[in-house]
Amino acid sequence: MTSRALVLVAVNNAFFDEGGQFHYPEAREVLPGISALLEAARANGRLVVHVREGHYPGLPDLEEKKLPRHCSAGEFDAAPYPGFEARPGEPEIGKRRYSAFFATDLALLLSEQGIEEVILAGVKTNVCIRASVQDAFAHGFRPVLVRGAVNSNRENLHTAALEDVERYFGEVVDLDEGLTRLREGGPESQP
């Protein structure tokens, strides 16, 4: 039986709130899918990990070479989008680079919990999600992306990232399949 976890990447105000620095209207289109995955994971006792971007306020950061200063820890943009706050037992991991795995203890946490398959949801497919998928694969996990639970403000790059994931790193499944994977074989369904 496969042990699965749900990893939510950057479900922060920065992308989903209209006042967020990197908000794009299409981001909200994935909220129902992410919410459904989160509900299924919680209802079936799956590990849920919230990975949030949070840069150190006032200190230089390598990402500033490509992006304006953003998601400073403790500020509005770095906060969880309402409805996606962590519950007790759901780890929150801060990240300072695109990948949820780079310089974080996410791989260690997943390994300690015996996780084999990582279902990832959030934004943006071509940046943080793709980098996280590639690193999940490099750490020996089976990454899975769920259509309707990831997207980007650049459709062509979203499509290309999904193709790369399917071809080189993991699987891309529809929402029904993602929900089925979180429901089947979970602690609640065992005798």
HEC secondary structure over 23-41: CCHHHHHHHHHHHHHHHHH
- For the chain, helix, strand, coil in percent to 5 are 40, 20, 40
Q: How high does pLDDT run on average in the chain?
A: 93
pLDDT exceeds cutoff 60 at 103: yes
Measured CA to CA, the distance from residue 124 to residue 141 in angstroms comes to: 20
pLDDT of 186? 55
Residue type, 139: H
pLDDT exceeds cutoff 50 at 155: yes
Residues 158-188 have pLDDT tens digits of 999 999 999 999 999 999 999 999 998 655 4
Measured CA to CA, the distance from residue 91 to residue 99 in angstroms comes to: 17
Q: What residue ranges do the domains of the chain occupy?
A: 4-186
CA distances from 70 to 10, 63, 77 (A): 12, 9, 7
pLDDT of 188? 43
pLDDT of 65? 77
Measured CA to CA, the distance from residue 84 to residue 181 in angstroms comes to: 20
Confidence of residue 67 (pLDDT cuts 50, 70, 90): confident
Residues 10-41 have pLDDT tens digits of 999 999 999 999 999 999 999 999 999 999 99
CATH node for 4-186: 3.40.50.850
pLDDT of 189? 39
